Amino acid sequence: MDIFDGNAAQDSDCGHGVVQALNALNRFLKFQKSLGNHSIVLGRDAFHILETWGTPSWPPPPFDAQGPEDARIVLVDSEGTFFKGEPGGLLIKMLAAMHLTPSDVYICNAADNALLSRHILTHKPLAVVAFGEKACRMMKETDDPLAEIRGNFFQCHGVPVMVTHHPSVLVKNAALKRQAWDDLKQVMACTGLDRHDS
């Protein structure tokens, strides 16, 4: 179908929302063509609409959390698997290297930024560690990739947040473990965990 063809989206069902939208788009593209514009740069939102066109809109996963609410360290897990499977086993080892156990931390999935913000405001942990891209983007409220954000703290309601690689990524790419450990060492220094008697 030639999207510049004025008859492409014309049919008798102009009352239908999708047809109306296509007709409007068709008129816009014809106008752009009349101006000599043969290509249009689409923004991120437009690409998202095109990529998800016709796909079902599943409800987001519910907010899930475990651990003591007054824990000094809050973990935000992009995948919501917590301590399960091989990535979960690696996460337990990472915590052990920080002189922590799963029962020492409050861990939640990256499903509801409002509930997480409320938790942070109420309990004022010493630091938050966001594991993975989804947690990174939710907490930072950005579309920037994790690679551009990790390695430096940012603030969330006055609490320092460190973004780092998710354990599932580290399982697949061991070369990134050094970066993750460097990030976690910063968290240890920030919270005093590096002064733990070993």
pLDDT digits (tens, 9 = 90+) for 95-114: 999 999 999 999 999 999 99
Confidence of residue 22 (pLDDT cuts 50, 70, 90): confident
Domain with CATH 3.40.470.10 in the chain: 65-195
* C-alpha–C-alpha distance, residues 61 and 168, integer Å: 19
Q: What is the mean pLDDT of the chain?
A: 86
pLDDT exceeds cutoff 70 at 5? no
Domain 65-195 top-level CATH class: alpha beta
Confidence of residue 38 (pLDDT cuts 50, 70, 90): confident
Cβ atoms 87, 106 nearer than 8 A? no
**pTM of the entire structure?**
0.71
Beta strands, E only, the chain = 65-66, 73-77, 105-109, 127-131, 154-156, 159-164
Q: Give, as one character, the DSSP assignment of residue 75.
A: E
**Burial tier of 187 (Cβ tally within 10 Å: 0-12, 13-18, 19+):** buried
pLDDT exceeds cutoff 90 at 157? yes
* C-alpha–C-alpha distance, residues 188 and 154, integer Å: 15
pLDDT for the residue 42: 67
